[in-house]
Amino acid sequence: MQDKEFDRLLKITRLRVSDEERVQIKRDFEQVMAYFDEISSVEASGEPAYHPVDVPGRLRDDTVKPFADAESLKKRSKTSNGYIVGPKL
C-alpha cells in the first residue's frame, strides 16, 4: 500500500496513527487484504444476504412520543443557551 493511499484513508476516517502504528498497520493491512482477496476465487451466485434471516419490515405509526429524559442527553456536552457546542466549522 502506498503512503498516499494510506494517508487518504486516514483523512477520510479522521484517524491519526503514530509512526510505529503506521508501519505495523500498513503491514497488517496488506496481509489482511491478501486474505480477503481469497474470496475472488469463489464463483458467486445468488442475491446478497443483507441479514442472515428474513427480516420483514415493520413500520412505525406517525405518532409523537417524546423521550422522557431529553435533558440527560445534553448533560455531558458543553451548552450555550440550550444549544450544544460543537467544533469550529
Partner 1 sequence: MTSYIEEFNGIEKPKDYYDDLFVQLEKLNDEYHAFNVINKDADCGFLFGTKANICVKGFETDAGSKMLKGYAPSFNATAVERMLSDKRFAFAGVTGMDEFGFGTFGTNTEVPARNAFDKEYAAGGSSSGAAVAAALMKYHVSIAESTGGSIATPAALNGVVGFTPTYGSVSRYGLIDYANSLDKIGVMARSSEDARIVFDRIRGRDEYDTTCAVEKITSERRKKIFVINGMLEKADASIKTSFEKLLNRLGNAYEIEHVDSSMMEMAIAPYYIIAMAEASTNLAKYTGYKYGLMAEDFYKQYNEFFTDVRENFGMEAKRRILLGTFIRSASVKDKYYTKALVIRSMLIREMDRMLKEGYILSPTLPIKAPRIADVRKLSPVESYSMDLFTIPPNLGGFPHISFPYDYVDGMPLGAQLVTGHGNDYAILDFVKSWEEGFEYRYKTNLGEL
Partner 2 sequence: MKIGLEVHVALPTRSKLFCSCSTEAAEPNSSICPICMGFPGSKPMLNRGAVEAAMGIANALHCPINRGISFVRKVYFYPDLPKSYQITQMEGAVGSNGYLAIGEKRIRIRRVQIEEDPAQIIRDGALTLIDFNRSGTPLVEIVTEPDISSEEEMRSFISSLRSMLYYLGVDINKEIKADVNISMAETRVEVKNVTGIKNMIETLRFEIERQTELIRAGEEIARETRGYNEKSKSTQTLREKESDEEYGYVFEPDLTVFDIAELKFNEPVYANDVAVGLANGTDVSPRTVSEIIMLDRDSLRQIERLRGRHSLRSIIHGIERYKKYGRAGRVADKVLDNIVLLIEEGKEVPKEAIVDLESGKEARVEYSQLSDEQLDELINKYLEENPALVREYVKQPKTINLIIENIARGNGLHPKEVARKLMPILAKVAEGK
Kindly list the residues in this chain that would bind partner 1 in the complex (CB under 8 A).
Answer: 6, 9-10, 12-17, 21, 24-25, 28-29, 31-33, 35-36, 38-40, 42, 44-58, 60, 67, 69, 72-73, 76-78, 84-89
Measured CA to CA, the distance from residue 9 to residue 3 in angstroms comes to 10
Written as nine digits, the cell of 44 is: 458467486
Shortest reach from residue 33's CB to partner 1, in Å: 7
Q: Is 27 exposed, middle or buried (0-12, 13-18, 19+ CB in 10 A)?
A: exposed
Are 27 and 34 in contact by the 8 Å Cβ rule? The answer is: no
Residue 4 binding result from partner 2, partner 1, none, given CB thresholds of 5 to 8 Å by partner type: none
Task: Tell me which residues in 14-73 interact with partner 2 (CB under 8 A).
Answer: 14, 48, 50-51, 55-57, 59-67, 70, 73
Phi, psi of 80, deg, nearest 5: -145, 115
Rule CB under 8 A: which residues touch partner 2? 12, 14, 48, 50-51, 55-57, 59-67, 70, 73-74, 79-89
